[in-house]
Chains A and B, each alone.
Chain A
Amino acid sequence: MLRLEGVTGGYGPVTVLRDIDLTVSEGEVVVVLGANGAGKTTMLRAITGEIATQGSLSFEGAALPRNPENVARAGIAHVPQGRGTFADLTTEENLRLGAVLRSDGDVRRDIDHWLEVFPRLGDRREQAAGSMSGGEQQMLAIARAMMLRPRLLLLDEPSLGLAPLITRDLFERLGALNRDEGLTVLVVEQNANLALEIGHRGYVLETGQIVASGPSHQLRDDDAIRKAYLGF
């Protein structure tokens, strides 16, 4: 579904990503592990066209557009690091913005659906997103991304700044979305344990290069990876 071949990219003269090969197939949850500064966020930005890239990026057989507006039109929703909610706007307005590209009549029904899936958002329909807790904002960011009815969901460190229990809840929900609705997910995470629990396959990113990849259980069983990223 998503295929990166030999992708190199960075910010201005600074190259962050080197020669990345990565694929995501339909219905998969793919996890990218890596320490701070390994280039995880940059890789997602390369996919959404927020940074200049060399190499080939394709989605569903066609070359990916090279700007975020058109990547969204291709059906890829991105929940950026720090959640990227519209802080001044209400929960409901945030959700409506997630669906600005849609012209079908189901937007209202979808909003109600996601407020049911995340009941804490339902209680905060008219509240400004910026005044909500980190966990609520993360749920709002995911719900907003889902409003696009994306073919692929990109998640950038959804656990960042969240309490362990909330993080666990979040990953369980993501796992459920993948199982029940067939949502394809590419998630970048430092919290390797949880991510690999719901992930089918994983990649390990180190200083901008992919140094290991394989099915989740295989990565979990790899001694070096366990020590470096799983902490046990």
Chain B
Amino acid sequence: MDLFISLVLTGIGNGAVYASVALALVLIFRTTGLLNLAQGEMALFSTYFAWKLTSLGLPIIPAIAITVVASMVAGAVIERFLIRPVDGPGKSPLNVLIVMLGLFLALNALAQLIFSTDAEPMPKPWPTVGSPGDPTGRDAIIEVLGARVSWSTIALVIALLVECLLLYVLFQKTKIGLMLRAVAANPESARLVGIRASTMLMLGWALAAGLGALAGSLVAAEQRSVNPGLMALVLVYAFAAAALGGFDSPVGAVVGGMIVAIAEALTVGYVDALSGIALAVPFALILLVLLVRPTGLFGRKVVERV
């Protein structure tokens, strides 16, 4: 039983990260209809940026805050100057896909060129206990209802909850959110009522970049270091989470992230043979969902009455 609980807790911590990145994927998918291949590397670049700020002496929490804001600006700039010129009615969606692929390669290379090609120690923005030979320290543990919970799990879950709350308020309670949903639902009509659809797309990219930056910084802190391969794996799990939940559903992204991560933790924990090939789990889940429910658990088939 203890093993089970500890595996589930590990899963929940990882799930919060996958869910954050999956949310970022969903945000861009809803407005462009495309999966942002560069999402992981955008987050990687941001994470190196956050590390650089801490290596210059800034404490980790303000470093992450600055990084999130800077990443949102960068996300908007990417949409405006790289995506928008190749996107639009009458142009092939492949154009955008290829630009995303280019971004994927370029951002990974740039991160290594500008910041570091090595794994760099990422300070933890949650309580730690010092351990010899480890610059970042180990995660502090607290007991909750008899279970030993790592502070990293708590921090990752809190971050996810705050993200969900902010997104909910933005989309459901504000005029900007209503406009964002309108552009996702029907871009042509959105323009006819006077919404500048391009501005909304820019905002979508900004939000996605910000979410990615936060997720990247936190997952690096959890894993103690940021390295050039950090986000590649996370992105695969996030894709699985989004496919599972439905690419157009924010709720699906969160639920999908949790299912993928908990399933991964449990199978790897109980089935020794799988521990070397944990990646098989998300792929098996993607395959299963696509077979049974192609729109994902929470995805909607577009049904319109005429």
Q: Which residues of A come within 8 Å of B, CB atoms?
A: 12, 48, 50, 67-69, 72-73, 77-78, 80, 82, 84-89, 93, 96-98, 100-101, 130-134, 137, 144, 148, 161
Contacts and interface: CB of A to CB of B under 8 A. Distances in A.
A89 B306 contact: no
Nearest to A67: B191
A97 B182 contact: yes
A224 to B, nearest CB: 33
B305 A134 contact: yes
Contacts of B304: 87, 130
B192 A133 contact: no
Contact of A98 (B184, B193, B306): B193
Q: Which of B182, B193, B196, B304 gathers the greatest number of chain A CB atoms within 10 Å? A: B193
A144 B178 CA distance: 14
Given A93-B178, A97-B182, A131 B193 contact: no
B37 to A, nearest CB: 26
B193 A97 contact: yes
A80 B188 CA distance: 9
B90 to A, nearest CB: 7
Nearest to A132: B305
A47 to B, nearest CB: 11
A148 B188 contact: no
Given A68-B188, A137-B305, 19 more contacts: A48-B192, A67-B191, A69-B191, A69-B195, A69-B197, A84-B186, A84-B189, A85-B189, A86-B186, A86-B190, A87-B186, A87-B302, A89-B182, A96-B178, A97-B195, A98-B193, A101-B193, A130-B305, A133-B305
A161 B306 contact: yes
Contacts of B197: 69
Contacts of A131: 303, 305
A93 B173 CA distance: 11
Nearest to B191: A68
A85 B192 CA distance: 11
